[in-house]
Amino acid sequence: MVTKPKKIVYHPACLLFPKLGEEELQQLADDIKANGLRNKVVLFEGKVLDGRNRLAACKLAGVEPTFKKWQGNGSPAEWVISENLIRRHLSASQRAVIAHDLLPLLEREAKARQRLSRGRGKKGAKSQADPSQVGKAAAVAARIARTNATYVEAVKSISAQAPELISRVRSGELTVPDAQRLQRQQEEVAKAKRASRKRKAYAVCEGDVDSVVCGDCFDLIPTLDDLSVNLTLTSPPYAQQRNGHYKGISEAKYPEWTVRWMRLLRDKLTDDGSVLIVIRPHIKDGGIADYVLRTRLALREDGWKECEELIWLKPDAPPLGSTRRPRRTWESVLWFSKTGKPYTNLTAFGKSSNRLGFAGSLRYGVGNGSPISNGQRVDLKNGIARCPDVFVAPVGTNDKGIQHPAVFPVSLAEQLIQVFSRQGDLVLDNFCGSGTTGAAAKKLCRDFRGFETSKRYVKVALRRLAETNGQGVKV
């Protein structure tokens, strides 16, 4: 019987495979508790070669693990791989990461064999030569891990530039082609940042880092620095509303889809940051489509605070829609934050008032006289009033000649940016379209990042940012 080592040390080959998730580990622990440990933990040269998860599950189950020595010939790393590939359902991409991790181990084993064979003379050396070492290292590792060498080469190149992407491939979250695409996009972002700093074509204020990147925001949000975004102001594609122009999301999938991109954003948003989503559901079969309602609830369930529902009032909205209903003249601006205490500057553009300090009226049983009927009281002051929750922005003020079917007015973006961010903050629009948010952000001396899938709209957005050059006003 092999006794338990005094200290558990893992052989590097044992660490090649991802750990089991919490749920799977618990299942294994339950099984061990019910049926005992059926596969002993395997030791090689005093180290655990195979059985890391079994050890963890034994601990969870309160069962004493049993051990045996590895009795195989040849490469222990190769043996671990083949054992685990049989047990686990790993994708070709995950196996490519394992093959990549295997490369230094194979090299070490090859050197050890060479040393051994030198001690035995030339003849011995020949007999010890391992056929699995023939050919390029990546091809050998790929064959052992049953994946393809191109993927292994790709993992090698990604891990040199963006090792965090490899962790996501290892866990099964990304495939190798996904990681390659993300790496390319990260390079694009870095390039855009450098170009923007150099060119100053889109620069209005000092410290400018603005750029519009062409790509899917699901890929690009993760490239942002953590806690770097102060405000996200965006108007996502509505459910199946503009199918002729860009891809809509089905009503059924809309809540889950929104939760996913908002989740990506969470770590990127500052603790006092806000996310403003401009949206209004369409009328369907005589009733309001319920996907926005479901989306709001899904976001709240996912941990977001919905601070308020703000209104964008369009006094000049065209008389579209059913003639049996009032003209639709507003859209919602849904306001979410992480902490419930987001930054606001409520007097950033408010109107003058001679009734600041107003505490209430008799109508509500507050105060000693109605300030409404008595005129100004001595304790009321002049100043700028808090802005209301209705933001008036006529659609007729949209910049002319913008080739995009769903722009919102710059004046709406300007008002919201002033209230919900400070100068020098980073404003993001991850469904940037023609870059309206960016144009307003630059004008107000904020940094801007926009993500947009359509090359055509990216061009429009970049042109608008460039046109804002020189118009930045510190307010």
Ligand X SMILES: C[S@@+](CC[C@H](N)C(=O)[O-])C[C@H]1O[C@@H](n2cnc3c(N)ncnc32)[C@H](O)[C@@H]1O
Shortest separation between residue 133's beta carbon and ligand X, angstroms: 46
Residue 436 binding ligand X, by CB under 6 A: yes
Interface residue with ligand X, options 31, 130, 153, 216 (CB under 6 A): 216
418 binding ligand X? (CB under 6 A): no
Give min distance, CB of 433 to ligand X, in A.
3
Tell me how far, at minimum, the Cβ of 223 lies from ligand X, in Å.
13
Q: How far is the CB of 331 from ligand X (least distance, A)?
A: 11
| Residue 283 to residues 24, 239, 251, Cα–Cα distance (Å) | 45, 12, 12
Q: Which of 246, 358, 391, 420 binds ligand X (CB under 6 A)?
A: 246
Residue type, 442: K
Pick the piece of the chain touching ligand X (CB under 6 A) from 330-338, 344-352, 357-365, 428-436.
Answer: 428-436
281 touching ligand X, by CB under 6 A? no
391 binds ligand X (CB under 6 A): no
> Residues binding ligand X: what is the number (CB under 6 A)?
19
Residue 336 contacts ligand X per CB under 6 A = no
Which tokens belong to 43? 């030791």
Assess 53 for contact with ligand X (CB under 6 A).
no
Q: Which of 217, 298, 417, 428 contacts ligand X by CB under 6 A?
A: 217
Interface with ligand X includes 404 (CB under 6 A)? Answer: yes
Name the one range near ligand X by CB under 6 A: 170-178, 323-331, 360-368, 445-453: 445-453
- Pick the piece of the chain touching ligand X (CB under 6 A) from 72-80, 108-116, 157-165, 403-411: 403-411
Residue 264 makes contact with ligand X by CB under 6 A: no
- Determine, following the binding rule CB under 6 A, whether residue 254 of this chain makes contact with ligand X: no
Instruction: Give yes or no for residue 277 binding ligand X (CB under 6 A).
Output: no
**Minimum gap (Å) between residue 213 Cβ and ligand X:** 9
Q: Considering the complex, state which of residue 101 and residue 452 has its C-beta at the smaller distance from ligand X.
A: 452
- The region of 39-47, 147-155, 355-363, 431-439 touching ligand X under the rule CB under 6 A is 431-439
Q: Is the dihedral angle over the CA atoms 174, 177, 179, 184 positive or is it negative? A: negative
Nearer residue to ligand X within complex by CB, 425 or 452 = 452
| Neighbour order of strands in the sheet with 41-44 | 47-50, 41-44, 67-69
How do 330-337 and 269-279 pair as beta strands? Answer: antiparallel
Residue 295 near ligand X by CB under 6 A: no
Rounded Cα distance between 466 and 213, Å, is 15
Q: For the chain, report the end-to-end CA distance as a whole number of angstroms.
A: 79
- The least CB distance from residue 106 to ligand X, in Å, is 41
CB of 45 vs ligand X, minimal distance in Å: 51
Near ligand X by CB under 6 A: residue from 109, 431, 441, 445: 431
Region binding ligand X by CB under 6 A among candidate stretches 39-47, 66-74, 400-408, 420-428: 400-408
Q: How many residues does the structure list for the chain? A: 475
When asked if residue 450 is in the footprint of ligand X (CB under 6 A), the reply is: no
Q: Under the criterion CB under 6 A, does residue 211 sit at the interface with ligand X?
A: no
Residue 57 within binding range of ligand X, rule CB under 6 A: no
Instruction: Give the nearest distance from C-beta 198 to ligand X in angstroms.
Output: 25
Contact pick of 17, 408, 420, 448 for ligand X (by CB under 6 A): 408
How many whole angstroms separate alpha carbon 28 and alpha carbon 30? 5
Q: Which of 347, 334, 331 is nearest to 288 (CA)?
A: 331
Our CB check for ligand X shows the closer of 165 and 249 to be 249
Q: Name the minimum Å distance from CB 10 to ligand X.
A: 41
Q: Whole-angstrom Cα distance, residue 469 to residue 149? A: 49
384 binds ligand X (CB under 6 A): no
Interaction of residue 232 with ligand X, rule CB under 6 A: no
Could you list the residues that contact ligand X (CB under 6 A)?
Answer: 216-218, 235, 237, 246, 404, 406-408, 431, 433-434, 436, 451-454, 457
